Amino acid sequence: KAGVTQTPRYLIKTRGQQVTLSCSPISGHRSVSWYQQTPGQGLQFLFEYFSETQRNKGNFPGRFSGRQFSNSRSEMNVSTLELGDSALYLCASSSLQGASSGANVLTFGAGSRLTVL
Amino acid sequence: AQSVTQLDSHVSVSEGTPVLLRCNYSSSYSPSLFWYVQHPNKGLQLLLKYTSAATLVKGINGFEAEFKKSETSFHLTKPSAHMSDAAEYFCVVSGASGTYKYIFGTGTRLKVLA
């Protein structure tokens, strides 16, 4: 079956612009989470969605937002881009159903590499 | 609170020699633990997971990890390194029940020398 698809794979923006990244999860997966990966900070959790509801959010400013659609596809948006937002943004989906289960495996997409100039 | 520490940021081994990547965790709960691998410009791929069944977990590509509660460790090993193993490896602990979060270690970059 198809894996997690992230688009675009690469993009370049300038400071002050905004960007929208898309993630299509594995068919049947209803949980989608987003991570930011940078050389200095490593992998940091952004937020997680399940059935169109944000269930948890990491420690990022309000410029970072996301949403999930009824088909489980998710988007994240970063407004007023800063140089420090340059990163690989990873999306992961899980078949997590309702109550939390830490045993659920995250399946990652290849990521969207954002460069802010 | 949950946390995970990868003890080495870089590890170099010769091809054909054993690999040991070290991970210690802290958890107030019975944790689920994972190892993921990331090749350059790629997403993360699951190597193996521990979910309170057997303490020795076998994964893909010949990797395995042993859960040691007394030492709060979950080290990743492979008997014989291959050039294709060169990548970054992440140890991950699941967050507390209800948080839907996974805590990632800072990663260990494995270099395999010919």
Which pLDDT tens digits describe chain A residue by residue (117 residues)?
679 999 999 999 999 999 999 999 999 899 999 999 998 888 999 999 999 999 889 999 999 999 999 999 999 999 999 999 999 999 999 886 544 455 678 999 999 999 999
Cβ contact A105–B43 (<8 Å): no
Cβ contact A103–B44 (<8 Å): no
Cβ contact A100–B107 (<8 Å): no
List the structure tokens of A52: 């169109």
Cβ contact B51–A113 (<8 Å): no
B62 touches chain A (CB under 8 A): no
Q: For residue B107, what is the nearest residue in chain A, using CA coordinates?
A: A42
Best probe of the A interface among B38, B49, B101, by most A CBs < 10 A, is B101
β strands within chain A, DSSP E: 5-7, 10-13, 19-24, 31-38, 42-50, 53-57, 64-68, 74-78, 87-94, 107-108, 112-116
Judging contacts by C-beta atoms under 8 Å, the chain A residues touching residue B36 are 108
Condensed to tens digits (0 to 9), the pLDDT of residues B80-93 reads 999 999 999 999 98
List the structure tokens of A79: 């407004």
Condensed to tens digits (0 to 9), the pLDDT of residues B45-103 reads 999 998 877 889 999 999 999 999 999 999 999 999 999 999 999 999 886 665 667 88
